Structure 1
Amino acid sequence: MPAEPAVLVRREGALGRITLNRPKAINALTTGMVQAIDAALRTWAADDGIAAVLVDGAGGRGLCAGGDIRFFHDCARRGDPAPKAFWAAEYRLNALISTYPKPYVALMDGLVMGGGIGISAHGATRIVTERSVLSMPEVGIGFVPDVGGTHLLARIPGEIGTHLALTGARIGAADAIACGLADHHLPSDALPAFVAALREAAGAGLGAGGAGPLARWYATVAVATGPSSLAADRAWIDPCYRHGSVEEILAALTASPAPAARAAAEEIAAKSPTSLKVTLRALRSARALPGLGACLDQEYRIACVLLSTHDLVEGIRAAVVDKDRSPRWSPDRLDDVTAEDVDRFFAPLGDAELGLGEAGGLGPADDSGPGGELGLREREAAR
């Protein structure tokens, strides 16, 4: 029997459906999967018969656990530049999703990490459940938050984004919504009914007869998430993470009377010193960049340099190859990572630049645009 495709693409009436289909790998992304998703979206963008797009993951364990990091590890060890093509395709897809001309709905049920954030959090409507677990854990494998993660994290209120980036902490539905990474909290057992309602709304054209009833459906079925623990933790997060260097942040966390702050310091101290310093600079830079495209360009420069570093290979080895959870970073001390070391990750790539920050129509999504009532974020107003 031929193997099933890694991405299932089909039409259900006026609803375009994309299902990531590598359940044994929690739907970790490959280059072929990224290309298949991109091709489907571009086809449907020009198809008047498709009114909305829904993205989910097969297997019940999560939407997507990120990129295929074993692939990165193996390529980096043998000097193969293939991951650069993957990142270029992935980041272009992230940019496309952010400006997609039709409602783009992501079911963020279960595990959503790294690249999974990239194919969901930039969409018009993001659905989380009581099973949702979101994270950007890249510093733990010698990498940095990418797929537009620096853009998303830098725009979370206060210093919560810095905390999430430097610790790789996992968050649930309440925190995801509070951070602007999700829109609605639905019970996981209500998802089949939601898909049916979305299919019906798409068939009605998602105009006055479509989006309105769907919005009312949200109001009827969506459940309260409870309070955001991260919002409450801003009492120690904001003053500890406001500093300009990782060393100062660690000192503030260690000195804090809050037990959670000291626990965060322990988490950060175990990460790649190089990745921590590059991540902090990328986050601070992202706050001043004009939009998602420019952040993706910056992330691509960083990723291309990281491919040739010791820490990327070592971090993945410790996490998923040997699974000893004991990476040997080089340098292994923050003090040994100089400003010049960090600078090289941000150097222009010349002809190899992605140029997403300069491409028309690839900036942040406009919630007042074609998504209509499906784009209920109002993030900027909340800030």
Structure 2
Amino acid sequence: MQDGERSGEVIIERRGTAGVIRLNRPRALNSLTLPMIRAIAEALHVFAGDPEVASVVISGEGERGFCAGGDIRALHESARAGDDLAATFWREEFRLNHQIASYPKPYVALMDGITMGGGVGLSSHGRHRIVTERTRLAMPETGIGYIPDIGATWLLPRAPGEAGTWLGLTGLDIGAADAIHAGLADLQIASPRLGAVIDVLSGLPRGSSSSDLDTLLQGLSEPPAESRLRQNAAMIDRAFRFDTVEEILAALAGEEGDFAAETRRVLSTRSPTSLKLALRLLRAGRRSGSLAECLGRELGACLQMLDNPDFFEGIRAAVIDKDRNPKWSPASVEAVEAATVERFLKPVEPPLSL
């Protein structure tokens, strides 16, 4: 695999002892398609069994983004057509997330530029997560009538305090310092030095450990700026400690300052159903014992999304008509019935096989 597969939506090659995976849809911000997921999963399988490969690194082509998530237009069309593409996409994507989290060799993700949704799944489950000054990371799903998936209900509850709840409900993007604070990344390395990262990895001795990589990557890193989430941690923890969206909104209304006001304003634009379901899943994830448990629960909710009007409306407003003015149904958090949320929590059949 020295020369690798150099065309198509994923470029796979070996440089020295490094297995390299490059997402190759730069005009689409490297958004994931089902063939891309399958190509990445197969490459990881091959690299894991290749004794000449000491580590694996994944990056995105172009300067705008690592990966903006799944191809939601394709998922929207699949749901409209009633075919099984969306269900197959989610099942295979979630299996890939678990494969990354349990990968037997050092796995390095270069999270340069936009890293959202499925892009977080390709990176934050890995062992070595590198952000740059250009990183903009988000789980923006509540803004399109969807939910944080890709194992986010495992990752976000393990952020300090309620930072993960803030991220999952608001869907707002954060930079490198906040990503490190939230436990979704490890080191900041300047974007011009990413080539040096791959050079270092290509010369890594076979059998090197993740601790060996930690030392090497630390030598290329730079201190992150001050984290805005850390600066506002006390307020976030006070307001987002509750188990209902109504209580969170009420708590935000009693907080002073621009950060709290902006947070409350953003929440008012998100799908009320998505907010309630996301919070329920995040709290369940906090009590869960494994990533696999969270992925299975998320898959069940995702499949129910195919009958959720907010899912279609959110994608329409964001990527089809692009009017950025979704009409949610129901339109308020108070109008979302408990039975509506419960409908999304049915165990998935057949279960997710990992």
- List aligned pairs for 1:22-171, cutoff 5 A: 22-171=25-174
Q: Are residues 1:302 and 2:323 paired? A: no
Using CA pairs below 8 Å that are at least 6 residues apart, which structure has the higher relative contact order?
1
Amino acid at match of 1:199: S
Task: Tell me the equivalent position of 2:346.
Answer: 347
Q: Deviations over 1:60-97 (max 9, x none)?
A: 11110000000111122222231000000000000000
Paired residue secondary structure (1:224): coil
Q: Are residues 1:207 and 2:205 paired? A: no
Cα shift at 1:234:
1.1
Output the TM-score relative to the length of structure 2. 0.96
Contact 1:95/1:293 (<8 A) preserved: yes
- List aligned pairs for 1:180-259, cutoff 5 A: 180-201=183-204, 204-207=205-208, 212=212, 214-259=213-258
Output the TM-score relative to the length of structure 1. 0.88
Contact 1:28/1:67 (<8 A) preserved: yes
Aligned partners of 2:192 and 2:16: how far apart in 1?
A: 23
Aligned partners of 2:208 and 2:143: how far apart in 1?
A: 45
Cα shift at 1:118:
0.3
Contact 1:79/1:308 (<8 A) preserved: no
Amino acid at match of 2:244: S
Query: 1:74–1:171: structure 2 CA closer, same or farther, 3 Å change rule?
Result: same
Query: 1:253–1:29: structure 2 CA closer, same or farther, 3 Å change rule?
Result: same
Paired residue secondary structure (1:266): helix
Task: Tell me the equivalent position of 2:267.
Answer: 268
Task: Tell me the equivalent position of 1:316.
Answer: 315
Which piece of structure 1 moves more, 159-168 or 250-259? 250-259
Aligned partners of 1:205 and 1:51: how far apart in 2?
A: 5
Which piece of structure 1 moves more, 278-287 or 9-18? 9-18
Paired residue secondary structure (2:146): coil
Aligned partners of 2:214 and 2:127: how far apart in 1?
A: 13
Unaligned runs of 5+ in 2: 1-5
Task: Tell me the equivalent position of 1:369.
Answer: none
Aligned partners of 2:83 and 2:218: how far apart in 1?
A: 50
Cα shift at 1:49:
1.6
- List aligned pairs for 1:350-361, cutoff 5 A: 350=349, 352-356=350-354
Aligned residues with identical type, % of pairs = 47
Structure 1 runs (4+) deviating above 4 angstroms are: none
Unaligned runs of 5+ in 1: 357-383
Amino acid at match of 2:351: E
Q: Deviations over 1:266-319 (max 9, x none)?
A: 101111111110000000000111111100001100000001211111000100
Query: 1:211–1:296: structure 2 CA closer, same or farther, 3 Å change rule?
Result: closer
Amino acid at match of 2:184: L
Contact 2:59/2:66 (<8 A) preserved: yes
Paired residue secondary structure (2:108): strand
Task: Tell me the equivalent position of 1:370.
Answer: none
Aligned partners of 1:211 and 1:315: how far apart in 2?
A: 43
Amino acid at match of 1:354: L
Q: Are residues 1:337 and 2:340 paired? A: no
Aligned partners of 1:211 and 1:296: how far apart in 2?
A: 28
Superposed CA RMSD in Å reads: 1.5
Amino acid at match of 2:110: L
Contact 2:114/2:137 (<8 A) preserved: yes
Aligned partners of 1:231 and 1:211: how far apart in 2?
A: 27
Contact 1:278/1:342 (<8 A) preserved: yes
Q: Deviations over 1:163-188 (max 9, x none)?
A: 11111011111111111111111111
Cα shift at 1:193:
1.2
Cα shift at 1:258:
2.4
Aligned partners of 2:176 and 2:10: how far apart in 1?
A: 26
Paired residue secondary structure (1:221): coil
Amino acid at match of 1:32: P
